[in-house]
Amino acid sequence: MGSRLQLLGLCVLSLISLGCITVVSQNEEGTVLIDGRVGIASIDDDFICATLDWWPPEKCDYGTCSWGTASLLNLDINNNILLNAVKAFSPLKLRLGGTLQDKVIYDVGDSNHPCTQFIKNGSQLFSFSQGCLPMPRWDELNRFFKQAGAVIIFGLNALNGRTIASDGSAVGAWNSTNAASLIRYSVNKGYNIYAWELGNELSGNGVGTRVAAAQYASDVIELHSVVQDIYRGFKSKPQIIAPGGFFDGKWYKELVDKTSGSLDIVTHHIYNLGPGVDSHLVEKILNPSYLDGEMNTFSDLKNILDRSATSATAWVGEAGELITVAIIMYLDQLGMASKYGTKTYCRQTLIGGNYGLLDTTTFVPNPDYYSALLWNQLMGRNVLSTNFTGTKKIRAYGHCAKQSEGIVVLLINLDGNTTVNVHLTTETTASKRTWTLNHQHKSPRTRFARIPRGSRQTVGTQSTREEYHLTAKDGDLHSQTMLLNGRILAVNSSGNIPLLEPISVNLVEPIRVAPFSIVFAHIPSIRVPACI
Ligand SMILES: *[C@@H]1O[C@H](CO)[C@@H](O)[C@H](O)[C@H]1NC(C)=O
Ligand SMILES: *[C@@H]1O[C@H](CO)[C@@H](O)[C@H](O)[C@H]1NC(C)=O
Ligand SMILES: *[C@@H]1O[C@H](CO)[C@@H](O)[C@H](O)[C@H]1NC(C)=O
Ligand SMILES: *[C@@H]1O[C@H](CO)[C@@H](O)[C@H](O)[C@H]1NC(C)=O
Ligand SMILES: *[C@@H]1O[C@H](CO)[C@@H](O)[C@H](O)[C@H]1NC(C)=O
């Protein structure tokens, strides 16, 4: 694919309204090939998920205490932006959990302990004492979840009843009594819990401590039977999820093999970039082979599930990065996870920590919030085989459109200097078609992927596609402000989330992917068998 240096008057580009400035910029051509014959994987309709954690304000790392009052125990659930932000997804999955979930006692009246809050204590596991969830708070949270239309995954206290051995491992069986009381309480109150998840990061070598796979498997079976018992007579029962930890092939295989019939969803966590103190983070993220690094985890887990008798599916239960430029990585991983059969992807966090979708103090959405919302709005269940030919700096993912006709292509440009003109080609049972070329566009002869006959007006509408261009303000990847089609995305003074609206582009034009930009292109007129 040829690359040429061009003197470009930006004022002639209809996509960008930065005024007339002349910049030296490179242009390159590239092609996306999509196989529309069959889907390669499918995701949940509500693929996007975010977490709410337990960390108290005293939790600090590398000199910053980033949690503020974003804990399940003290988050201001009456905040208007928070409500609107969750509502906008209709629905957003929310996973309630994190490190301290395993040390929470539910104050359901059967425990011998007073309901005391987490207290910082360096000599205890995770540097905090045991904590407690008072039922009035649980009631309040559930009122919020219902109002916001959220789908709830609750992480249960998997360390309850175990003791920590001298080698640091947690031994003994999980005591399910307290969890069962919470589940029963929730059922009696009519709270709708989509899934109960057992434990957080206790798999493999664990974080802080670990539990052996065989023991974990019998604890999962125990949770399954507790849930079956409490929800007896219910038409649909909550899903059973585990282990919410870091992927370890041997450990995961043993858990999966031993929980066939009890475990519905296998969760794993992803933090590729480490603790955020690495000064080369931006370079890392912009490196395609670095982004590909996570592929092995996805494909290894897929292999384990494919080869086991289990019918369990995979989710990413928690993933986050400590820096804002990670928006590129976030969307890339949503794309990659989908390709490997991941059904749901939970982002750490909705709010709190350094990496929330919402700002911890103002609740104002961060750039990743809007990326997630756009994904949720556009990317349908079926994942299409999608390959890009041209520069290695373009990442490409294709899905059937969500609640709409046609397909959606997600393109991410990791290059800060080059605009890539992307042409789209679809593989169908009949032949290959290139959609951006005028003459082929005019003579739809193939059996599939055709422009449907219809009224003049329909044909007129079908000759365009809808594009959503996301860029960082002033091209600064560290900016907390993101632009959609050149306009700043922001909540208004009543705390309303802006509508994410596309621009319309003629199909004969290539998709122009500006430097460091992300483009979602929805092409309603491309009808492929996989999306019908
Ligand atoms: C994309 O590449 C993969 C791996 O080479 C191949 O299996 C797949 O068929 C390709 N898909 C398309 C649409 O070209
Ligand atoms: C489990 O915990 C409950 C208190 O919640 C306690 O009464 C019971 O004895 C424990 N069971 C076991 C086997 O230790
Ligand atoms: C911290 O935890 C240790 C071990 O459980 C306990 O002995 C100590 O009293 C605790 N310190 C405080 C200040 O609570
Ligand atoms: C663009 O290219 C120039 C010259 O090669 C280089 O110095 C600069 O770092 C590049 N900018 C980005 C954002 O990649
Ligand atoms: C904010 O946006 C909402 C919907 O987009 C609108 O109804 C409301 O009037 C706006 N509020 C202000 C203060 O502009």
pLDDT tens digits, residue range 377-394? 999 999 999 999 999 999
Ligand number nearest to the C-alpha of 124: 3
> Hey, whose CA ends up nearest to atom 4 of ligand 4?
417
d(CA 267, CA 101): 16
For 207-267, give the DSSP string: BSBB--HHHHHHHHHHHHHHHHHHTTT-SS--EEEEEEEE--HHHHHHHHHHTTTT--EEE
Is the pLDDT at 235 greater than 50? The verdict is yes
CA of 278 to the centre of ligand 4 (A): 21
- pLDDT, residue 282, reads 79
Is the pLDDT at 433 greater than 70? The verdict is no
Q: Which residues pair with 152 in a beta bridge?
A: 94
pLDDT tens digits, residue range 267-314? 999 987 655 556 677 788 888 988 898 899 999 999 999 999 999 999
- pLDDT, residue 20, reads 39
For the beta carbon of residue 250, count every other beta carbon within 10 angstroms: 10
pLDDT tens digits, residue range 207-217? 999 999 999 99
pLDDT tens digits, residue range 92-114? 999 999 999 999 999 998 667 78
Span 76-90, mean pLDDT?
98
For the beta carbon of residue 470, count every other beta carbon within 10 angstroms: 24
Q: What is the pTM of this model?
A: 0.90
End-to-end CA distance of the chain: 33
CA of 219 to the centre of ligand 2 (A): 15
pLDDT tens digits, residue range 324-344? 566 788 999 999 999 999 999
Residue by residue, what is the 3-state secondary structure of 328-356? Answer: HHHHHHHHHHHHCCEEEEEECCCECCCCC
CATH topology of domain 42-364: TIM Barrel (3.20.20)
- pLDDT, residue 456, reads 33
Which residues surround ligand 2 with Cβ inside 6 Å?
Answer: 110-111, 161, 175, 177-178
What is the number of the ligand 4 atom nearest to the C-alpha of 516?
13
Is the pLDDT at 67 greater than 70? The verdict is yes
> Hey, whose CA ends up nearest to atom 4 of ligand 1?
387
- Write out the residue limits of the CATH 3.20.20.80 domain(s) in the chain: 42-364
- pLDDT, residue 170, reads 98
276 Cβ below 6 A of ligand 4: no
- pLDDT, residue 434, reads 62
Q: CATH says 27-35+385-531 is which class?
A: mainly beta
- pLDDT, residue 111, reads 63
Span 406-429, mean pLDDT?
92
Catalytic site residue 254?
Answer: no
95 closest CA partner among 279, 291, 319, 313: 319
> Hey, whose CA ends up nearest to atom 3 of ligand 1?
387
22 residue type, one letter? T
Cα 85-90-92 angle, rounded to 5 deg: 65
Residues above pLDDT 70, as percent of the chain: 86
- Write out the residue limits of the CATH 2.60.40.1180 domain(s) in the chain: 27-35+385-531
384 closest CA partner among 369, 373, 403, 399: 399
> Percentage helix, strand, coil, to 5, in the chain?
25, 30, 45
Q: Are 220 and 262 in contact (CB under 8 A)?
A: yes
Is the pLDDT at 459 greater than 50? The verdict is no
Two tokens, residue 370: 């809007």
d(CA 239, CA 32): 37
Which residues make Cβ contacts (< 8 Å) with residue 284, sequence separation at least 6?
Answer: 273, 278, 290
> Hey, whose CA ends up nearest to atom 12 of ligand 3?
121
Catalytic site residue 294?
Answer: no
